[in-house]
Amino acid sequence: MNNFNHTDSEIAAIQVWQDKGYKCFVNSNSKTTLKASAGPCMITVNPDLDRFVEPTGELQNVKAARVKFVASPTGSVRDAWNQSMAWCRAHGIPALVTVQRFACHSTLAMYSTRPDLYEWKNSYYRLKKVPDFQGLELCDREAGGCPACGRCIKLTYPEEQDQAEVAGVNLSASGACTYSCPDCFAKRLLMGRNPAYDRVSQNRKQKGVLKH
């Protein structure tokens, strides 16, 4: 529910879970300066959709770069996608395509020239037909949630990919996210709620509820 910002306190908190026997990886966006001591890391390199943000810091533990996909993108969104993919190729880092969904039609219309390609489903505007993305990793390609996918595990702990159960932990050490990515699902879920910090649990996608 919050961006991992690679602070010393967050890294210490992750170590606590590792000491308990969990295998961990962290999720960040590339507005954060990365530290290798955080362990395996996934980063979103176009968090604003219409802008590529080049990652900084120590990149050796970056296992994949999440790249948000928008169908029929505006020019700036298309440029950000192309720059993100070029960066991944140049650094030998797998691109993990994440299909963007939108919370409202006005936001969708800001980034896509074809809002009709989307439908309102399960509280979001979601792409009606997801491209094949041949040759690329796609988050939840089977549209069956994490149990049917496992790409995060494949990219971080491939030896565990057949038996790992995916869950998450919202670190109190991270605090509230200071970024405002378009239609961020985490901030929407937290509206009017007190976040459950420092407790391992599964969200709907991790339980296997369909994503697309």
- Residue 145: its H or E element: none
Task: Give the count of beta carbons closer than 10 Å to the beta carbon of residue 82.
Answer: 12
What is the reported pLDDT for 192?
62
Name the residue ranges covered by the structural domains of the chain.
Answer: 8-207
- Consecutive 10-residue averages of pLDDT for the chain (212 residues): 91 96 95 97 97 97 98 98 98 97 96 98 93 94 88 91 85 89 78 78 84 54
What is the reported pLDDT for 143?
85
3-class DSSP assignment, residue 27: strand
Query: Rounded to the nearest 10 degrees, how much is the dihedral formed by the CA atoms of 198, 26, 40, 147?
Result: 90
State pTM to two decimals.
0.92
What is the reported pLDDT for 193?
66
What is the reported pLDDT for 190?
65
